[in-house]
A and B are shown apart, each in its own frame.
Chain A
Amino acid sequence: MTQTDNLVADYLARVERAAAGLRPDRREELLRDLREHIAIERAESSDDSETHLRTVLERLGDPEAIAAAADTPTGSIPAPGFAAHGSPATGYPAPGHAAARPAATRKGNTWVWVLAGSLALLVLLLCAVVALFLGRGDSGPPPPAEAPRPVETASVR
């Protein structure tokens, strides 16, 4: 193994350690992508020096940061953010995306609550209408209170 090969192996080992918590297939995919990236960067450069390789690795960045990026879903890729706009063409079931599932369930729950809330409101409204009608049937509208008026003015005087 040459010095540069050691550098690459060392870097990938650091990524592998940092990504220990990832699903094995995701970790392998990440390592494969980085390995390919490094191989192509080296193949495309006429500079085969250790300095160039160090620059390539520096640009790839901190192994911990790369592993963290693989661990946290970014942006709107998990479908819910997208499906929220009700576009059937782009509302994905997001195959195998674990993060999408709890969010989707939460959204489902919200709908149930909204539905229950509207139903309760409807029932309340109906009750109010019925009560108004019954009240009318029993005693009729309250008589226009003319009698108390003189009393009021009297008390003012």
Chain B
Amino acid sequence: MDVSDDAALTTALRRGTIEFCVLALLDQRELYGVELVRQLSAGLGMTTSEGTMYPLLSRLRRAGRIATTWREAPAGPPRRYYTLTPDGEAALAHFRTEWVSFRTGVDRILGTEQP
């Protein structure tokens, strides 16, 4: 498998899950764009495509799963904070159960169950 195949695989795996990683991070506490993008890129190994997360955040906001609110910062410009909406909470709870059964099924087929 060459590098581009690897990248395509990772992209495909991220596609269905990254938005729920966003919701889960915001479930812990509200974050402003840079913080959120840093945590995601560190957690999912996307350190050279942080910019692609902003369109995702826009879509989540339009879908009503997250909301934004301005806060003054001790230094620099005010920050646009992202928060989880009740719809976002429900979507996250639903995905958590779906994910566990999906992951379990894949693990069983692949033979990668945790001992």
Output the least CB separation between A122 and chain B (Å): 34
B residues within 8 A CB of A33? 33, 54, 57-58
Interface set, chain A 31-74, CB cutoff 8 A to B: 33-34, 36-37, 39-41, 43-44, 58-63, 65-66, 68-70, 73-74
Total residues of chain A contacting the partner, CB 8 A: 41
Question: Does B50 reach chain A (CB closer than 8 Å)?
Answer: yes
**Contact among B55, B73, B76, B90 for A66, CB-based, below 8 A:** B55
Question: Does A3 reach chain B (CB closer than 8 Å)?
Answer: no
The answer to whether B59 touches A36 (Cβ under 8 A) is no
Q: What residue of chain B has the Cβ atom nearest to residue A26's Cβ?
A: B58
Interface string of B47-85 (1 = CB under 8 A from A): 111111111111110111100000001011101100000
The answer to whether A44 touches B19 (Cβ under 8 A) is no
Total residues of chain B contacting the partner, CB 8 A: 40
**Contact among B18, B33, B47, B54 for A74, CB-based, below 8 A:** B18
Which of A75-83, A109-117, A124-132, A136-144 makes up part of the contact surface? A75-83
A residues within 8 A CB of B47? 59
Q: What residue of chain A has the Cβ atom nearest to residue B57's Cβ?
A: A33
Question: Does A96 reach chain B (CB closer than 8 Å)?
Answer: yes
The answer to whether A44 touches B54 (Cβ under 8 A) is no
The answer to whether B77 touches A43 (Cβ under 8 A) is yes
**Contact among B18, B41, B64 for A92, CB-based, below 8 A:** B64
A13 and B37 CA atoms in complex are apart in Å by 22
Interface string of A93-115 (1 = CB under 8 A from B): 01111000000000000000000
Output the least CB separation between B96 and chain A (Å): 12
Output the least CB separation between A27 and chain B (Å): 10
Question: Does B10 reach chain A (CB closer than 8 Å)?
Answer: no
Interface string of B14-26 (1 = CB under 8 A from A): 0111111000000
Output the least CB separation between A20 and chain B (Å): 15
CB-defined A-B contacts under 8 Å, sample of 12:
A34-B54, A37-B33, A61-B50, A65-B52, A66-B52, A70-B55, A77-B59, A77-B65, A79-B63, A90-B87, A92-B87, A97-B62
Task: Add 16 more A-B contacts to A75-B17, A97-B63 (CB < 8 A).
Answer: A26-B58, A29-B58, A30-B55, A33-B57, A40-B76, A44-B34, A59-B47, A59-B50, A61-B49, A66-B54, A70-B58, A74-B16, A74-B56, A75-B19, A77-B60, A85-B94
